[in-house]
Structures are given as C-alpha cells and as structure tokens.
C-alpha cells in the first residue's frame, strides 16, 4: 500500500535530516521540520526565498552545491560545508540530487543535510582528553605512557626509548623535551645509522680548523648546538664500538673534545636515545658495550605496538582523515564500519606509521564521502565477509563496531572490556544498550 501525500510529508518531517527543495532559480518551495530546526527558521520565512539567503553556505558565491547539481545533473554526496544562518557558524554534511519531470527535464533540486556540531563536539572532547604532545591514546597502554613521559620529563636522567619501527619514538623524545625545564632550549636530532663513523664523530663533537685536510675553519658539533637542551640519538644500536666509548665519556664526565682539540668542553645536554633493536641481545652478542648500555638505559620507555592498542584505531583513522582533508581540501567524511573492521583485524607490523600510510592510500583512491573496503590496499581485499553496515552515518555506528571488536578480544567479557577501556562497567552497559550491541547466544 502506497503512502498518501500527507503520510509522506509526515515521514519527511520526522526524519533527522534537514531537507529543502528548490526550483532552477534556487528558490525554496519545500522545507521539512528538521531543516527548520537546524537553520533556526520557520516555514513562512523560508518558502519563496533563495536558498543562499537562508543557508549562507561558505560555497554559495563560488561553488553552490545545488547550482552545481542543477547545472551538471550530477548528485553531490556527503560534502562537508559550513553555514552561517543568523551569523551562527557550524558545519553540516550535505547531499544533493536533481528533480526531473516525466520528460526528463530538470525542474529543480533537493538537498538533504545534517548538523555535524555534535560529531565535532565529540571529536574535540576526545582530542582534549586523549591527545598529548601530538600523540593520541585512549587505551590504557598509551595513557600510562603519557603519565610516564610527564614524570620522566621533570628529571635530567638519560632515557632509552626502545620499540618497534613506527611506534613514535621521536614523538616521545619531543614530548619529553616539550614537558621539561629544557623546553626553551634546542632539541637536536641525530640519526646514528645515516652517517658513516668518521663523519658521525665530527657531526657529534665538531672540529677545529686544521683537524683534517678539509677542515678550513672551526665547526660546532651537535653537542654544542644542543647546549642547555636535549640531544636525541636515534638508531643508537648502529653506533660503532669506538663511538660508544667516546659517548660513554660524555655520559660519565659531561665533557668532550672537538676533533683536533685538546681542550675539554662541558656538555650541559640531556641525552635521549632510541632504537628498534633489542639492545640486551646486542650486549650478549658483544655488539653493544655493556657499560655503554647501562649508561644510556637509566630510564627505559617502551611504546606499545599498534596490535596492543587497537582501541585507538578508530580515533586515529578519524584524525588522519581530518588531517588529509586539511592538506588536500577534499571532503572525506568517514570510514565504513566494514573497512574499519578490516583494519581492526590487522596486526600492523609497521604500527602507527603503517596505519597512516594505509589511510592516505585509501584517501587518495576514495572519490569522496565514505572510505570503503575497496579503497584499502590489496592486502585487505578478498577476506571472508564480516557482516557490517556499509555506510556509517554517524559516530554511533563507528563506536558500535569498535566496542564489538574489544568485546570479542575479551571473549565478550564486559568486566574485562570495561577494564581495558578504562571505564566503569555500568557505563559500558549503558553504551551497549544504547547502541543495541548484544553478546552472541552460546
């Protein structure tokens, strides 16, 4: 049985999307209740007026979405724009489509839109609570890492950051520097694997004129440049035994000599080192000197790999999408729950760096709107199907997918899931009830 006109209008008025219909001159001839609520306008003031006078869309003058749709006959899907009705600026997501008569002639267009303010508020809340010095972490592992960085930053002790590639070791070094009393002094970074031994020595300690054939004048080394601040030595496991001895003296005596000089210079420098290797194993293999290892390993920080903090993946994905939108001025709104599930089931040997590269790959291939499974790299394709909603229309669906993944990880134990998420079990119960997530029948 078909709906009557009144029933159809009642249905349109009660859906949580704003809807307006315009003629080819962009004059509004229909507006639903949700649109009036979002725009803060009544029907009498909207009907007959040009949509540009109502929406105050930031694209109205240059690239009006409705005008583009009428001109090209092509729809616009999930485009994010900002509007300014009554001088109040907020973001909306819009979809447009043309209206044709029985002969196929365009006689107008329709636009649906939803207010993104609640979603933006959720994002801002998460960034305020879970972002720390350019790192994101909602997981217990990352929150503990942030707490450790805050404590370690207050001392001048030497720090060893030992973790897998892509776990953000340099970001941790920068966070320690930024949180410390040395934050207004330099942070100098040296990659120990990028330079040959002879060049690395002169880079670290500098040299005086005449120290070697091409030394025409004095040159400051990285220790001198970092004076009062922090020297970050990345890939410390690649250091030669000879340079280990020279650095050991700096660590013990806080002094060094530039090449060709016999005059010692005081080193007021905090040293932070990093490696993706197991230094204890290298000590056993006689690659790293034991005394050097104990000098650099006063405080060890081990950033968790991505596979141990999968609850952070949905929010990192969202962050990377927002970051790419700002760089490329494209409007990708979100990732589909099925594509997200593919990511949640992956172990990320390349950690956060690999996740960011995967999202950039998908972003480039996605024409707009929603990143889907087909936009992910080939290694995510042809996996066994996982039931999921194809289009995530809001953060609610994204959160449901995330909670299901953590519940499965904990064998559907709500107690263990709440503990891992660092939330009260009653809070988790309310969330699951609200999202309609139920454990499988046994």
Which CATH number characterizes residue 13's domain? 3.30.450.20
The mean pLDDT value for 145-155 works out to 96
Answer yes or no: is pLDDT of 438 > 90.
no
DSSP class per residue in 33-63: HHHHHHHT--HHHHTTSBHHHHH-BTTHHHH
The pLDDT value given to residue 143: 93
The pLDDT value given to residue 253: 93
Torsion of CA 50, 51, 52, 58, to 10 degrees: 180
More confident: 76 or 185? 185
How many CB atoms within 10 Å of residue 249? 15
Q: Which of 72-86, 171-185, 253-267 has the lowest average pLDDT?
A: 72-86
The pLDDT value given to residue 303: 96
Answer yes or no: is pLDDT of 45 > 70.
yes
Out of 268, 303, 338, pick the residue that ends a domain: 303
pLDDT range class, residue 384, cuts 50, 70, 90 = very low
More confident: 363 or 421? 363
Residue 132 lies in a domain: no
The pLDDT value given to residue 141: 92
More confident: 304 or 7? 304
Cα–Cα distance between 238 and 249 in angstroms, integer? 18
The mean pLDDT value for 184-189 works out to 97
Q: Give the Å distances, CA to CA, from 257 to 117, 195, 232, 281, 355.
A: 59, 20, 19, 31, 43
Same domain for 274 and 211: yes
Which CATH number do you get for residue 187?
Answer: 3.40.50.300
Residue 383 lies in a domain: yes
More confident: 412 or 211? 412
Match 């530039």 to its residue by tokens. 258
The mean pLDDT value for 208-230 works out to 85
Match 């599930």 to its residue by tokens. 341
Q: Which among 241, 303, 309, 248 is positioned nearest to 276, based on CA atoms?
A: 303
pLDDT range class, residue 393, cuts 50, 70, 90 = very low
Burial class (CB in 10 A: 0-12, 13-18, 19+), 372: middle
More confident: 262 or 57? 262
Q: Which of 258-272, 289-303, 391-405 has the lowest average pLDDT?
A: 391-405
Integer-rounded Cα radius of gyration of the chain: 29
pLDDT range class, residue 394, cuts 50, 70, 90 = very low
Residue 387 lies in a domain: yes
Total number of domains in the chain? 3
Answer yes or no: is pLDDT of 396 > 60.
no
Same domain for 366 and 288: no
Answer yes or no: is pLDDT of 326 > 80.
yes
Which CATH number do you get for residue 352?
Answer: 1.10.8.60
Same domain for 311 and 250: no
45: Cα within 13 Å, side-chain hemisphere: 12
Put simply, whether the predicted model's pTM sits higher than 0.75 gets the answer no
* Cβ-defined contacts of 372-375 (< 8 Å, 24+): 372/335, 372/336, 372/338, 372/339, 373/336, 373/338, 373/339, 373/342, 375/339
Structural domain range at position 337: 307-435
Same domain for 215 and 102: no
The pLDDT value given to residue 333: 79
The pLDDT value given to residue 122: 67
The pLDDT value given to residue 78: 75
Answer yes or no: is pLDDT of 167 > 90.
yes
Q: Tokens at residue 176, please?
A: 């320690």
The pLDDT value given to residue 392: 39
Q: Tokens at residue 74, please?
A: 């092509």
Which residues have C-beta within 8 Å of that of residue 92, sequence separation ≥ 6?
18, 38, 80, 81, 82, 83, 113, 114, 115, 116
The mean pLDDT value for 215-223 works out to 86
Answer yes or no: is pLDDT of 185 > 70.
yes
pLDDT range class, residue 116, cuts 50, 70, 90 = confident
Same domain for 292 and 312: no
Same domain for 247 and 392: no
Out of 249, 281, 303, pick the residue that ends a domain: 303
Our CA angle for 284, 289, 292, nearest 5°, is 130
Our CA angle for 155, 160, 165, nearest 5°, is 135
Residue 89 lies in a domain: yes
Residue 135 lies in a domain: no
Q: Which of 65-74, 159-168, 397-406 has the lowest average pLDDT?
A: 397-406
Cα–Cα distance between 168 and 276 in angstroms, integer? 11
The mean pLDDT value for 417-437 works out to 77
Cα–Cα distance between 427 and 190 in angstroms, integer? 46
Q: Strand, coil or helix: what is 104? A: coil
Q: Tokens at residue 91, please?
A: 């973001």
Residue 441 lies in a domain: no
Cα–Cα distance between 442 and 425 in angstroms, integer? 22
Answer yes or no: is pLDDT of 22 > 50.
yes
The whole-chain average pLDDT of the chain stands at 86
The pLDDT value given to residue 423: 78
How many CB atoms within 10 Å of residue 362? 25
Beta bridge partners of 81: 92
Out of 303, 320, 348, pick the residue that ends a domain: 303
Same domain for 239 and 101: no
Top-ranked range on mean pLDDT: pick from 127-136, 303-312, 409-418:
303-312
pLDDT range class, residue 420, cuts 50, 70, 90 = confident
Cα–Cα distance between 274 and 161 in angstroms, integer? 4
The pLDDT value given to residue 353: 94
Same domain for 263 and 325: no
Match 């805050």 to its residue by tokens. 150
Q: Which among 408, 169, 437 is positioned nearest to 310, based on CA atoms?
A: 408
Match 């016999």 to its residue by tokens. 262
Same domain for 324 and 296: no
Answer yes or no: is pLDDT of 203 > 80.
yes
Phi then psi dihedrals of residue 106, to 5 deg: -75, 125
Give me the percent of the chain exceeding a pLDDT of 90.
48
The pLDDT value given to residue 389: 36
Q: Which of 1-5, 309-313, 429-433 has the lowest average pLDDT?
A: 1-5
Residue 32 lies in a domain: yes
The pLDDT value given to residue 385: 41
Residue 183 lies in a domain: yes
The pLDDT value given to residue 2: 54
Cα–Cα distance between 54 and 64 in angstroms, integer? 13
The pLDDT value given to residue 59: 62
The mean pLDDT value for 381-409 works out to 57
Same domain for 57 and 160: no
Burial class (CB in 10 A: 0-12, 13-18, 19+), 207: buried
Beta bridge partners of 369: 332
Same domain for 145 and 107: no
The pLDDT value given to residue 387: 40
Q: Strand, coil or helix: what is 129? A: helix
Same domain for 76 and 186: no
């Amino acid at each position: 049985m078909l709906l009557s006109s009144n029933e159809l209008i009642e249905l349109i008025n009660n859906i949580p999307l704003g809807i307006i219909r315009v003629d080819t001159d962009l004059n509004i001839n229909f507006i639903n209740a949700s649109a009036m609520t979002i725009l803060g306008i009544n029907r009498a003031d909207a009907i007959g007026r040009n949509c540009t006078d109502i929406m105050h869309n930031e694209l109205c003058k240059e690239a009006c979405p409705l005008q583009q749709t009428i001109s090209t006959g092509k729809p616009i899907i999930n485009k994010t724009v900002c509007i300014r009705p009554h001088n109040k600026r907020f973001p909306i997501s819009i979809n447009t489509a043309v209206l044709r008569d029985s002969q196929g002639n365009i006689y107008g267009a329709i636009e649906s839109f939803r207010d993104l303010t609640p979603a933006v508020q959720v994002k801002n809340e998460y960034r305020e609570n879970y972002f720390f010095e350019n790192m994101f972490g909602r997981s217990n592992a990352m929150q503990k890492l942030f707490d450790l960085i805050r404590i370690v930053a207050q001392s001048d002790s030497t720090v060893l950051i030992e973790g897998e590639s892509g776990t953000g070791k340099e970001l941790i070094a920068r966070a320690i520097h930024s949180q410390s009393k040395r934050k207004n002094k330099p942070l100098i970074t040296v990659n120990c694997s990028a330079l040959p031994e002879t060049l690395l020595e002169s880079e670290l300690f500098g040299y005086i004129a005449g120290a070697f054939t091409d030394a025409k004048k004095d040159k400051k080394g990285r220790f001198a440049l970092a004076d009062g601040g922090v020297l970050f030595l990345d890939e410390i496991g690649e250091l030669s035994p000879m340079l280990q001895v020279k650095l050991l003296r700096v660590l013990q005596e806080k002094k060094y000599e530039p090449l060709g000089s016999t005059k010692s210079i005081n080193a007021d420098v905090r040293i932070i080192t990093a490696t993706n290797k197991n230094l204890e194993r290298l000590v056993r293999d006689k690659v790293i000197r034991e005394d050097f290892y104990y000098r650099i390993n006063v405080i060890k920080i081990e950033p968790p790999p991505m596979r141990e903090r999968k609850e952070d993946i949905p929010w990192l994905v969202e962050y990377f999408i927002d970051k790419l939108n700002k760089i490329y001025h494209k409007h990708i709104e979100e990732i589909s729950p099925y594509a997200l599930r593919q990511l949640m089931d992956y172990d990320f040997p390349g950690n956060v760096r690999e996740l960011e590269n995967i999202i950039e790959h998908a972003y480039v291939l996605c024409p707009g709107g929603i990143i889907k499974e087909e936009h992910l790299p080939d290694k995510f394709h042809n996996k066994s199907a996982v039931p999921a909603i194809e289009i995530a229309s809001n953060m609610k669906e994204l959160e449901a997918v995330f909670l299901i993944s953590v519940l499965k990880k904990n064998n559907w134990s709500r107690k263990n899931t709440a503990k891992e998420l660092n939330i009260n079990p009653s809070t988790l119960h309310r969330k699951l009830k609200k999202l309609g997530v139920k454990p499988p029948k046994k």
